[in-house]
Chain A
């Protein structure tokens, strides 16, 4: 895991993040719900962290089901 790069998906609301999490869980995509990193936003929000290699599949799963604000490489 050392040196593994992550991407975080940011959402416009906590309920969108939760909805997206349910979709990823159902799709069996490993992910982690974490607080939005401080350098990205000072909001008290949560985002979904995935490994960089899963970005495409996550986007594929979420598209059309839940809107995301942006995906940021950590």
Chain B
């Protein structure tokens, strides 16, 4: 009789025991995909991971899926991430739906921090080829949108006609100045401003040389060239 009671209690506890997912040693986006699948099927899970990217991605997953989230540091750099479902799974939050593509994007953004600086190269004052009127609109939109990138670029390099974006009457000068204020290093090619004779009009970033430009580009984790 007593044994039966114990057995029953134990069984009851089991239902509330979190399912443990071993995602150690796996690279992004594998841990978050495993976590998503598991939390869809279980009330509570614990995901074992060994890197910050995975923790960050699972934290975002928890936000999306309205789950409780906590992290416990274990020995050897292992983190146990606990997720508890607190409400019905709602794929849309504030009318937005989250896609697998967005998860991948999150991966790229988060992991970018680990792979080296993000460098944006403005090699022209137009974006793309074909039509310069359109190219002018596009580059203005692009530079403005850089302000909203998370994380922000580490460095923006302007060379060739791209230096014209950094002069005082440029349509994006306010954006470049804001980027500089937000800590983005803006390198403006000295040879180029000299060639265009606009050295006295540069109003964002600092005049730089090919050594810094080449070194920065060579050391980039990712290089964006619109």
Contact = CB atoms under 8 A, between A and B. Distances in A.
Say whether A and B bind each other: yes
A46 B137 contact: yes
A22 B162 CA distance: 23
A4 to B, nearest CB: 12
Interface in B130-182: 133-134, 137, 140-141, 144-145, 171, 174
B145 A33 contact: no
A71 to B, nearest CB: 19
Query: Interface extent on B, as a size class?
Result: under 10
Interface residues of A, number: 8
A33 B140 contact: yes
Contact of A14 (B137, B140, B145): B137
Contacts of B145: 35
Nearest to A49: B144
Nearest to B95: A39
A5 interface: no
Contact of B144 (A14, A18, A32): A32
B210 to A, nearest CB: 32
Contacts of A34: 140-141, 144
A43 to B, nearest CB: 12
Contacts of A33: 137, 140-141, 171
B16 to A, nearest CB: 40
Interface in A1-22: 14, 17-18
A1 B100 CA distance: 38
Contacts of A32: 144, 171, 174
A28 B145 CA distance: 25
Contacts of A18: 133, 137
Nearest to B138: A46
Nearest to A31: B171
Nearest to B140: A33
Interface string B6-45: 0000000000000000000000000000000000000000
A22 to B, nearest CB: 11
Contacts of B141: 33-35, 46
A5 to B, nearest CB: 17
B86 to A, nearest CB: 26
A49 B31 CA distance: 42
Report the 6 A-B pairs with minimum CB-CB distance, sorted nearest first: A35-B141, A34-B144, A33-B140, A46-B137, A46-B141, A35-B145
21 contacts: A14-B134, A14-B137, A17-B137, A18-B133, A18-B137, A32-B144, A32-B171, A32-B174, A33-B137, A33-B140, A33-B141, A33-B171, A34-B140, A34-B141, A34-B144, A35-B141, A35-B144, A35-B145, A46-B137, A46-B140, A46-B141
